[in-house]
């Protein structure tokens, strides 16, 4: 099927049912842009006013509307469809981050304590991530508690491995996933199954040689 082209005031628009309804809705929101471009009227101020009105009608920001317009001009109607990520519903952070959140959640529940707030977990996460960055590649020294705590993240020489590093994430991400600890546990189990030479949930691991 031929791709829809940018419309003009004299060009009939034919919508195909094969396109997702979301793409059609977005196209309808930006269509007046192309009608204006075909006319003699097109001053920058008028374009800004038009963008504001159309964005209000569509319930989005003017910036979003302009992004839709650019996407359509580049790739046509198909570019206005929502793209569903292959990893939708799965954490996009690594094993180290997931393992940390799961340990914090399990620790509070096993000790009968109230679950910490997202802000408290975020502060603890920042502190832990900072410590790991400062000790990357170095031998984990200290008391037996420290060695047990990081036993899943050290190599054969007792040094903190690169995959123990925790990425920067927002407090919002912490809040979202800390409410979904069972999903994190599933994520860790699946990742360890795919990569058997990494840590497993709650500290089980296949140590690299």
Encode pLDDT of 148-164 as tens digits.
Answer: 888 888 888 889 999 99
Q: Global pTM?
A: 0.53
Residue with tokens 């005031």: 9
Contacts made by residues 72-78, CB under 8 angstroms, sequence distance 24+: 72/6, 72/26, 72/27, 72/30, 73/6, 76/3, 76/4, 76/5, 77/3, 77/4, 77/19, 77/23, 77/24, 77/27, 78/3, 78/19, 78/23
Report which listed range, 8-22, 106-120, 165-179, is most confident.
165-179
DSSP alpha helices (H): ranges in the chain?
21-37, 44-58, 62-75, 95-110, 118-134, 144-149, 171-178, 181-194
Closest CA to 198 of 137, 152, 134, 139: 152
Confidence label for 45 from pLDDT (cuts 50, 70 and 90):
confident
Report the pLDDT value the prediction gives residue 40, as an integer from 0 to 100.
47
DSSP secondary structure string for all residues of 66-106: HHHHHHHHHH-GGGGSPPPPTTTTS--S-HHHHHHHHHHHH
Distance between CA 96 and CA 104 in Å, rounded?
Answer: 12
Report the pLDDT value the prediction gives residue 59, as an integer from 0 to 100.
87
Encode pLDDT of 105-160 as tens digits.
Answer: 888 766 666 778 999 999 999 999 999 999 999 988 776 777 788 888 888 888 99
Encode pLDDT of 189-198 as tens digits.
Answer: 888 777 655 5
Distance between CA 128 and CA 85 in Å, rounded?
Answer: 30
Residue 83 dihedral angles phi and psi, to the nearest 5°: -95, 120
């Amino acid at each position: 099927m031929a791709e829809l082209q940018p419309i003009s005031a004299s060009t009939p628009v034919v919508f195909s049912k094969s396109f997702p309804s979301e793409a059609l809705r977005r196209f309808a929101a930006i269509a007046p842009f192309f009608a204006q471009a075909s006319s003699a009227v097109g001053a920058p101020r008028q374009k800004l006013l038009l963008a504001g009105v159309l964005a209000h009608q569509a319930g989005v920001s003017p910036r979003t509307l302009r992004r839709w317009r650019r996407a359509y001009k580049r790739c046509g109607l198909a570019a206005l469809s929502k793209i569903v990520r292959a990893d939708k519903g799965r954490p996009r952070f690594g094993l180290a981050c997931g393992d940390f959140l799961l340990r914090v959640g399990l620790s509070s529940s096993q000790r009968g304590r109230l679950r910490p707030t997202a802000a408290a977990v975020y502060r603890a996460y920042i502190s832990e991530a900072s410590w790991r960055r400062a000790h990357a590649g170095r031998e984990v020294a200290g008391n037996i508690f420290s060695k047990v705590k990081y036993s899943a993240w050290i190599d054969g020489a007792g040094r903190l491995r690169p995959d123990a590093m925790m990425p920067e994430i927002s407090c919002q991400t912490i809040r979202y996933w800390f409410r979904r600890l069972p999903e994190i546990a599933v994520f860790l189990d699946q990742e360890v199954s795919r990569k058997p030479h990494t840590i497993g949930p709650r500290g089980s691991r296949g140590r690299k040689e």
